[in-house]
Amino acid sequence: MLLFWWFILFLGGRSGVAGQPHGEARDHVAQDREDSAPLGQDQQTRSQNHRGSPDGGDIIDCVPRHRQPALDHTLLKDHKIQRAAERPKKAAAAAAARNVSASASRRAWQAWHHAGHCPRGTVPIRRSSVDDVLRAKSLFHFGKKTLMRPPARSSDAPDVVSGNGHEHAIAYTINGGEFYGAKATINVWDPSVQVSPELYGDSRPRLFTYWTSDAYEATGCYNLLCSGFVQTNRRIAVGAAISPVSSFQGGQYDITVLIWKDPKLGNWWMSFGDGGDLVGYWPAELFSHLSEHATMVEWGGEVVDTRPDGSHTATQMGSGHFAAGGFSRAGYFRNLEVVDADNTLASVGAGVSTLAENTDCYDIRSFAGDSAGDADGWGAYFYFGGPGNNPRCP
């Protein structure tokens, strides 16, 4: 059973990129073990530097930037790593919203930073263990999503796979359009997962990525588990645990993620944190439809419920509480923004709709604020989540 705690998804034909913290918790491993040796890459590509995280249970290898997995892709043999990108311009309303402090929320970061950072010229890569591979169906399936064949989608309908165990609580852009990026600030929680997730073996929230150019048919993978995503940041490890997390009616923590297309070279970049630290990018060479723009953006949560015992999963979405709980009780996305053809960030305002297939299990409530006029600076936002199995969701 797989839980997507939140996601930002770009749709453009059969291509897609996403940046997502993943709800996953296993006892930490703070030292090297024989069964956690680097897998799937030549040992010579690894630096001798590694960092152990006492909080996240991750071992981080510091790999020379020019030897990272992305550059093994056949389309990237002659690729020159891009070190910077042309960032989106801030529309006046969006800039005003970001200048208003959400005083009740605080920034979350990554647990492995307690052990330091990688040196210059290297990038951090979470070390895969033998146990990680054994949780997959096969070595071929390791790091890949299960192939799902959704019905044909109209251009103005969200791209969700419903009716086969997938349940969502999402907001999505309406009325079509051309989108060159999207941004949101996301509340960080550690939801309860009924069945141990396949990829990490734990339930900690994580910053992870996935890419595909053919709707999961043959291309793409999580994080840096195959060639594709080019990492440029030495301080942010894709796939590593996020810390601290929010607590019910207690301290609230969130992270900010922006994904956008560089107008000069066409690569799709991801930045992380309030300061917009560049993490890396999906090279333009990987995509066909997304080489131009996306036709829809989705933000929200997804749970896969296989009903192995005939009842609905107790896997939580967000905080595990319904949207009506509001701040400090339900999970939220705030300051929903999109990037236009002029490479300008602007609030989506009222230009979104919502979808939740089974509101007795998980639901969503959206609010179309004016970024410049909101006293709390949240702009367009929504609360979402739910407990899964309960008397109304048997």
pTM > 0.75: yes
Amino acid at 266: G
At 244-298, the pLDDT tens digits run 899 999 999 999 999 999 999 999 999 998 889 999 998 888 877 667 888 889 9
- At residue 260, the pLDDT reads 95
Residue 122 clears pLDDT 90, i.e. is over it: yes
131 in Cβ contact with 201 (< 8 Å): yes
At 323-351, the pLDDT tens digits run 999 999 999 999 999 999 999 999 998 88
Q: Which of 161, 160, 167, 209 lies closest to 22 in space, CA to CA?
A: 209
Beta strand residue intervals within 232-385, DSSP E:
242-243, 252-261, 268-272, 277-282, 296-304, 331-339, 344-347, 352-356, 363-368, 380-385
Where is pLDDT greater, at 375 or 240? 240
At 41-80, the pLDDT tens digits run 443 344 445 555 444 467 888 999 989 887 877 777 788 9
Query: How much helix, strand and coil, in percent to the nearest 5, is found in the chain?
Result: 10, 35, 55
* 3-state class (DSSP) for residue 16: strand
Residue 362 clears pLDDT 70, i.e. is over it: yes
294 secondary structure, DSSP code: B
